[in-house]
Structure 1
Amino acid sequence: MTNGSEDRYTVISADCHAGADLLDYKPYLASKHHEAFDAWAATYVNPYEDLLADTADKNWNSDRRVAELEEDGIVAEVVFPNTIPPFFPSAALMAPAPTREEFEQRWAGLRAHNRWLADFCSLAPGRRAGVFQILLNDVDEAVKEIRWAHGAGLTGGLLLPGTPPGSGLPELYSQEYDAIWATCAELGIPVNHHAGSASPPLGDEPAARAVFMVETTWFSHRALWHLIFGGAFRRHPDLKLVLTEQGSGWIPGVLDMLDYYHARLVKAATKAAGPKANTAESKFGQGLAASMGKGPSEVWAENCFVGASFMRPHEVPLRERIGLDKIMWGSDYPHDEGTYPYTREGLRIAYAGLPREEVAAMVGGNAARVYGFDLDFLDPIAAKVGPTVGEIAEPLKEPPADATSPVFAPGGKVRVW
């Protein structure tokens, strides 16, 4: 099944970022927090250069954003957070879990972001799926916010915080979070886990920054095996998990590894070994088969998706092993590592020569299905601004000289796992 007009693709970015300018969050806070917000904002030093630059308004300038995305051939976007919510030391994706003393103010800050985001998405109806934020410290409060966000039209789903070592939170496999999974499954809300949201704090030494870059996607991958082995998908078979901006080339190998351990832990029988076969690892797997249900690859096939931001050329040959119905391309706008303003070139370097139906699914069709975009509404826009099938089919000979996205890195072999 294809999407778009006969000669153009309907491109939906499954990974973009937005947020309010710092002071613009204040109207979304309850009045009891205003004095504390004024004090916090007066002394806050933003740690991110891109949020201090002249281009920072890409995060909140709706008209500019629509124009630049259309210029880049993109007609709709899944909107993850980017700017600093009130009372946070850094972007919520990267901030450590709050202490008990910080919890009330941090919750107020995230709620302010969610309410701003609902208004921001309403400025471009049908073209933005906003991803809302929660904290895991209080599951009942999280469930209330999930239900509010669903009612407010934030169709991008839940942004799942990480539980990095030292956070003090139960691990994601814990059944303490079951009400969250149940509510998301009931309402058809995707659970998104974005790179960076589960890394432990490492400090600011040069080596620490290098280690962060090496490890950050691995810490994000952990949500996959935590939820699988924790049985979340057995108890809630309609739950959808999306792993975004973590690469995609790692998925086949990790699924093979998870299947191996699953088989060894649950004493999976073979015709040769028989149903009573023991393994060296089976003593660690008591009760696992009953608690988790299906094996990892089965869960992936039925419940999981990948926000494969600017898919690299070396990952594309793995698309069938990953699942052609699982891959959702993203531009990562407005980040420097994103493909803007060279999205067409980024698509060409990855997808030139592939069948039209496959490209259409990965650049838009899959995202429309997962996040509920209406292709009948988007296709006419794409017929005017979308990249043509012919231009994406043409291999890219030379990357743009000033392109900054890793998709154009020599050889394309960046962050395989």
Structure 2
Amino acid sequence: MEEAMPAAVQETHRDEKIWANSGDSHLMEPEDLWTARLPKRLADRAPRSERGEKYEILYIDGMQIDRQLNDFMDAMRPPGFKDLSIRLQDLDQEGVQNQLAFPSMGFWTCTIRDPELENAVARAWNDWAIEDVMGKQDRIFAPAIVPLRDIENAVAEAYRAAEMGFRALYFPCGIEDDRAWGLELWEPLWTAAEELGMPLCWHIGTGAQNVVYRGPGGAVVNYMETTYPGMRVITHLVAGGALDRHPDLKVLIAEGGAGWVPAIGDRMDEAYRQHGMFVRPRLSRLPSEIIRQQVYASFQHDISAVQVIEDTGYDNVLWGDDYPHLEGTYGHTQQTLHTIFDGVDLRIRDRVLRGTFEELFPAAVAA
């Protein structure tokens, strides 16, 4: 007679629904979000798109960006991608309890160079997210967009967002070298976020070109290229001392996987130790300690993101469904969750699917 498996590693039946929180989802903004909320002199320069048969053209503050994103992709999106009530039904069907929902068109706010326009666009997006999304249900919540061209605007909007009910702040990964995330110019914003208890949430594939190579394997190469800037964000925040100076700040890198996080901690420790005579600033903790205490990461399909937890002890890991984007898990969420978590220690499964999310966003989790 076979012995029963320990309770902590019992197999999950394939027909058992696994419920999860998503640390990476998205909102789809209405097409008239900025034209309806901004004066015409600003609305005409706010982000908007025009779609043809093969390409989408984005217009932002006098710039034009062509993207190969045509109508058939919308036909493949989940039923509730623009309807909140249907979206909640999609969540029930897929087994998703709560979602941290990033912008979609709002991602382009960071490309605006005019501080007045950027501030107005960010504030309008935040007003819409509160009024039309977060104010109508309690399972989907968004991080507030922060205008970045003027630090006073950024700090003011962080405080306004907290008063409105936001529980996190969004940032793009890509940024100019003279405004890199580890520089002292961001100190007022980090101080405000730490005081407000608002996690800083970066999303990969934002703030820079996503198509950087057009040779063999380009589709995979470019997909990987969206991930590397998230690693740079953490490297700058840690090496530059920002997280060491603000030990209560929590940082999330969304959609970029999680297995790399403890690895770069080891790599940074090596640099800090072997090149110590050149290291400035000096830190009160090793880079790996700062990372383990303050850095979080979300993934969708990566089996390794869960596998590394047991061996490395790094468990600041969240799963995400990426709803309603095409790389997400809609339509096969349960299959994906069973593939990743069947046979996994239940303590690890609970941490990744619920506990880490609730630790980062305790006030935003629906009962």
TM-score, normalization: structure 2?
0.82
User: RMSD value over aligned CA atoms?
Assistant: 2.9
Alignment equivalent of 2:260, drawn from 237, 250, 255: 250
Q: Does 1:171 align with 2:198?
A: no
Deviation at 1:146, TM superposition (A): 0.8
**Matched residue, 2:146:** 134
Alignment equivalent of 1:158, drawn from 169, 186, 203: 169
Change (3 A) 1:140 1:323: farther
Secondary structure in structure 1 of the residue aligned to 2:257: coil
Secondary structure in structure 1 of the residue aligned to 2:32: helix
Q: Distance in 2 between matches of 1:13 and 1:307?
A: 9
**Matched residue, 1:360:** 350
**Matched residue, 2:98:** 76
Deviation at 1:345, TM superposition (A): 0.8
Deviation at 1:321, TM superposition (A): 4.7
**Matched residue, 1:347:** 337
Change (3 A) 1:52 1:109: farther
Q: Does 1:315 align with 2:305?
A: yes
Alignment equivalent of 1:261, drawn from 267, 271, 296: 271
**Matched residue, 2:203:** 194
Q: Which has the higher contact order (CA 8 A, sep 6+)?
A: 1
Q: Distance in 2 between matches of 1:196 and 1:352?
A: 30
Task: Work out whether residues 18 and 334 of structure 2, in 8 Å CA contact, stay in contact via their aligned partners in 1.
Answer: no
Q: Does 1:98 align with 2:112?
A: yes
Alignment of 1:13-412 (within 5 A): 13-30=22-39, 33-34=42-43, 45-46=57-58, 47=67, 48-49=69-70, 53-54=74-75, 55=77, 58-82=80-104, 84-85=105-106, 91-92=107-108, 97-99=111-113, 102-155=114-167, 157-164=168-175, 167=176, 169-200=178-209, 205=214, 211-266=221-276, 282=277, 284-285=278-279, 287-289=280-282, 292-310=283-301, 312-321=302-311, 323=313, 325-373=315-363, 377-378=366-367
Q: 5+ residue gaps in structure 1?
A: 86-90, 267-281, 379-417
Q: Distance in 2 between matches of 1:225 and 1:68?
A: 37
Q: Distance in 1 between matches of 2:46 and 2:261?
A: 42
CA-to-partner distance for each residue in 1:235-282, whole Å, 9 max, x for gaps?
Answer: 21111111111111222321111111111233xxxxxxxxxxxxxxx2
Q: Distance in 2 between matches of 1:222 and 1:233?
A: 14
1:110 partner amino acid: A
1:316 partner amino acid: V
Q: Distance in 1 between matches of 2:41 and 2:338?
A: 52
Q: Distance in 2 between matches of 1:320 and 1:329?
A: 16
Task: Work out whether residues 324 and 358 of structure 1, in 8 Å CA contact, stay in contact via their aligned partners in 2.
Answer: no
Q: Distance in 2 between matches of 1:142 and 1:325?
A: 31
1:68 partner amino acid: D
Deviation at 1:185, TM superposition (A): 0.6
Task: Work out whether residues 78 and 330 of structure 2, in 8 Å CA contact, stay in contact via their aligned partners in 1.
Answer: no
CA-to-partner distance for each residue in 1:128-149, whole Å, 9 max, x for gaps?
Answer: 2211212322111001111111
| Aligned-pair identity (%) | 23
1:70 partner amino acid: D
Task: Work out whether residues 10 and 360 of structure 1, in 8 Å CA contact, stay in contact via their aligned partners in 2.
Answer: no
Change (3 A) 1:260 1:239: same
1:106 partner amino acid: E
**Matched residue, 1:11:** 20
Q: Distance in 2 between matches of 1:257 and 1:163?
A: 22
Task: Work out whether residues 25 and 116 of structure 1, in 8 Å CA contact, stay in contact via their aligned partners in 2.
Answer: no
TM-score, normalization: structure 1?
0.73
Secondary structure in structure 2 of the residue aligned to 1:79: strand
Task: Work out whether residues 244 and 309 of structure 1, in 8 Å CA contact, stay in contact via their aligned partners in 2.
Answer: no
Q: Distance in 2 between matches of 1:365 and 1:50?
A: 38
Deviation at 1:301, TM superposition (A): 2.0
Change (3 A) 1:254 1:123: same
Change (3 A) 1:209 1:337: closer
CA-to-partner distance for each residue in 1:171-203, whole Å, 9 max, x for gaps?
Answer: 111000001111111111000111112544656
Change (3 A) 1:333 1:264: same
**Matched residue, 2:11:** none
Secondary structure in structure 1 of the residue aligned to 2:153: helix
Change (3 A) 1:52 1:104: farther
Q: Distance in 2 between matches of 1:139 and 1:133?
A: 13
Q: Distance in 1 between matches of 2:210 and 2:102?
A: 21
Task: Work out whether residues 172 and 204 of structure 2, in 8 Å CA contact, stay in contact via their aligned partners in 1.
Answer: no
Task: Work out whether residues 96 and 201 of structure 1, in 8 Å CA contact, stay in contact via their aligned partners in 2.
Answer: no
Alignment coverage as a number of residue pairs:
338
Deviation at 1:110, TM superposition (A): 2.3
Deviation at 1:218, TM superposition (A): 1.0
Q: Distance in 2 between matches of 1:302 and 1:51?
A: 43
1:137 partner amino acid: R
Deviation at 1:57, TM superposition (A): 7.1
Task: Work out whether residues 199 and 212 of structure 1, in 8 Å CA contact, stay in contact via their aligned partners in 2.
Answer: no
Secondary structure in structure 2 of the residue aligned to 1:45: strand
